[in-house]
């Protein structure tokens, strides 16, 4: 639970995990830990639920019926596999071969549905009838509402009262699909309060409820489960780039909020040491921190060790360990923590962590729209912004893959008011 260290699970020795061809590789880890990050910092009453989830996942992830149904939904509901698109004009401009992984074409307009489908299906196999989720910008709530409607769950999404107001379209979308949106008016009325409410609900309704977490965050086993369900992105890229180029890319670039689209595209390449993995965080107005707020959301670059969402990771916090509210032009990157495995990979230097500012992201948003006729999500625009910097420094490499995590239609108003300086 956010900010409260209640208990930590014991380490039960090492484990290895595999899902349909994705390997953990040689990352040495004890159960639920990535180096020192991760774990289960939750109230004792939640431990049985986490154990049940872990057992359920271990049981079904290799079950042929489960895998066949998962593949069916990914293909016919979500629209996979997504193309790996050679961006000819962008490539010409920067003098490298630049490929875009088109997660913007997934149903709903972003990668989030990959994970929502996986978890909802798992919940169904585990006999659950009710889904709960929390959401800040509303995009994960929307993905949850989609699978909730399609698979016949009672679906409840917790959302800070401030966010409900800020994200009226997503709130309406969720309601259209039969989801109950519960506005939380306690605390700062934003995501972290919604997270607390979701945990509270789960404790009370463990028997019939699955808590569908939207990124590679939260207590173990969530970071692993979400990463595995999102790794379909990286597995497809590997096959596609081998088909088009006959070799591995020199670098893969992804934006990082909680880190799920980054871990999803990186994970199948972690062992391929020649491939540079680059995570671009939201640098907001530039990296500044006060006691009350962080003017950015760059946890890998500027966070410190702390507990958020039931895991030890890198979080934005003040001197007293109070979580700072992050700030970014892109609501989907506005999370005060980052997934523990990504924190570990960045610390061990397998992943390079950088940030792009609001200005740079908005510039990249315009650039891709003009050059390629593709309007990217503002989140993804942070990854695209790195292309310019890297090309200037001669660091781009010959073959580059950018994860285009989502489409930008949802961001038009934000970009319009940003231009007007509002
Ligand atoms: C939510 C979202 C993100 C950030 O979440 P991650 O878990 O870091 O991937 C990035 N891009 C888009 C389009 C999103 O909707």
What is the tens place of the pLDDT at every residue in 320-341?
A: 888 888 888 888 888 889 999 9
> Can you read off the two tokens belonging to residue 151?
């698979």
Q: What is the DSSP letter of 155?
A: E
Higher-confidence residue of 148 and 15: namely 148
Cα dihedral across residues 290, 140, 188, 319: positive or negative? negative
pLDDT at 322: 85
More confident residue, 420 or 403: 403
Q: How confident is the model at residue 21 (pLDDT cuts 50, 70, 90)?
A: very low
Mutation probe of ligand 1 site: the residue of 353, 361, 379 with most atoms within 8 A of C-beta: 379
Asked if 112 is an active-site residue, the reply is yes
The confidence band for 356, taking pLDDT boundaries of 50, 70 and 90, is: very high
Q: Is the pLDDT of residue 15 over 70?
A: no
Structure tokens that stand for 85 in this block: 């698109």
Residue among 191, 126, 128, 117 nearest 160 (CA): 191
Given 54, 103, 134, 379, the catalytic residue = 134
Q: What is the average pLDDT across 12-37?
A: 48
To the nearest 10 degrees (0 to 180), the angle between helices 139-151 and 168-176 is 10
pLDDT average, residue stretch 175-201: 95
**Residue 369 annotated as catalytic:** no
Q: Does ligand 1 lie within 6 Å of residue 136's CB atom?
A: no
Which structure tokens are listed for 298? 């760059």
286-307: per-residue pLDDT in tens? 888 777 778 888 889 989 999 9
Alpha-carbon distance 331 to 334, whole Å?
5
Q: Got the DSSP string for 276-317? A: EEEEEEE-TTSS-B-SSBBSS--HHHH-EEEEETTEEEEE-B
Report CA(137)–ligand 1 centroid distance (Å): 10
405 part of the active site = yes
Could you say which of 112, 124, 128, 276 is catalytic? 112
Strand (E) or helix (H) holding 132 = strand 130-134
**Which residue has the least CA distance to atom 1 on ligand 1?**
332
């Amino acid at each position: 639970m956010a900010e409260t260290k209640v208990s930590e699970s014991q380490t039960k020795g090492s484990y290895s995990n595999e899902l349909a061809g994705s390997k953990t590789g040689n990352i040495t880890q004890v159960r639920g830990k990535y180096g020192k990050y991760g774990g289960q910092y939750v109230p004792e009453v939640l431990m049985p639920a986490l154990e049940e989830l872990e057992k359920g996942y271990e049981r079904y992830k290799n079950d042929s019926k489960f895998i066949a149904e998962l593949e069916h939904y990914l293909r016919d509901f979500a629209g996979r596999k997504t193309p790996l698109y050679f961006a000819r004009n962008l490539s010409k401009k920067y003098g490298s071969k630049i490929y875009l992984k088109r997660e913007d074409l997934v149903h709903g307009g972003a990668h989030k549905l990959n994970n929502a489908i996986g978890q909802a299906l798992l919940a169904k196999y585990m006999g659950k009838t009710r889904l709960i989720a929390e959401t800040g910008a509303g995009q994960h709530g929307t993905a949850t509402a989609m699978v909730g409607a399609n698979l016949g769950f009672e679906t409840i999404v917790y959302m800070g009262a401030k966010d409900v107001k800020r994200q009226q379209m997503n709130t309406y979308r969720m309601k259209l699909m039969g989801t109950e949106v519960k506005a939380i008016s306690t605390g700062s009325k934003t995501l972290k309060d919604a997270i607390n409410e979701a945990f509270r609900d789960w404790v009370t309704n463990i028997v019939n409820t699955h808590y569908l977490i939207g990124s590679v965050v939260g207590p173990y086993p969530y970071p692993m489960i979400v990463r595995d369900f999102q790794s379909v992105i990286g597995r497809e890229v590997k096959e596609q780039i081998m088909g088009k180029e006959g070799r591995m890319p020199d670098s893969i670039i992804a934006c990082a909020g909680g880190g799920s689209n980054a871990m999803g595209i990186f994970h199948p390449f972690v062992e391929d040491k020649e491939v540079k993995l680059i995570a671009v965080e939201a640098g907001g107005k530039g990296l500044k921190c006060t006691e009350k707020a962080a003017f950015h959301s760059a946890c890998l670059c500027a966070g410190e060790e702390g507990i958020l969402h039931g895991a030890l990771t890198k979080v934005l916090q003040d001197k007293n360990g109070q979580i700072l509210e992050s700030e970014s032009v892109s609501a989907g990157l506005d999370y005060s923590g980052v997934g523990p495995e990504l924190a570990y990979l960045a610390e061990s230097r397998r992943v390079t962590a950088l940030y792009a500012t609001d200005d740079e992201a908005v510039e990249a948003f315009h650039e891709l729209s003009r050059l390629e006729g593709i309007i990217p999500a503002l989140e993804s625009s942070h990854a695209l912004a790195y292309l310019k910097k890297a090309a200037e420094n001669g660091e781009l490499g010959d073959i580059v893959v950018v994860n285009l995590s989502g489409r930008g239609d949802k961001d038009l108003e934000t970009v319009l008011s940003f231009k007007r300086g509002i």
